[in-house]
Amino acid sequence: MDSQTNLTDAARDMKRSLRAIYEVLKLLLLRVFGKMELYEIIPGKLYQSPAIIDWREIPPAVDVVFSLANIDSNIPDHLTYVHWPIVDGPLPPDLDVLEAFALIGADLIDKGHVVLSHCGAGINRASLMNGEILRHMGAVPVEQIVSYIREHRPGALTNEAFVKYLSRPECTLYTIEGE
């Protein structure tokens, strides 16, 4: 047996072990959190969820995912996947990034794409992103964004810094270049 064969066998064994670990962790998460809850913020256009345990639970129409927590595994090829990890605490240090992603999300929805924002529990970080997407779409009056998100995602927005940011009256108008 040559060294190349040994490396190939070792890689195959490692892949099997990692897959087994993944399956055990997935079962543990299902046992702790139950089936993944998916919330429609704008029916058929904008969704919100906690950590994605099983991609098969995502509606097939979803083609853009904003992940605001740990990076996901086994991401389906048909998805545009944007990973921007932020903490559920103070506001993100670079709010321009949040606004840019929210503007992109709003623009994609306007062009017929279906967007899902998710974080660890689907309560605060995904609500912050979706609230800003709603703001840029003009889908909800600014003063109603927090109550609208809470209505569509019960238990949402317990982070006061995020609530304060989403409740601000001013709105910087961003536009997509060329429009």
Is-above-0.75 flag for pTM?
Answer: yes
d(CA 171, CA 53): 35
Domain ranges of the chain: 1-34, 35-166
pLDDT tens string, the chain, 179 residues long: the values are 566 667 777 777 777 777 667 666 665 665 565 566 889 999 999 999 988 767 888 889 999 999 998 877 788 999 999 999 999 999 998 999 999 999 999 999 999 999 999 998 899 999 999 999 999 999 899 899 999 999 999 999 999 999 999 999 865 554 445 54
- CATH of the domain spanning 35-166: 3.90.190.10
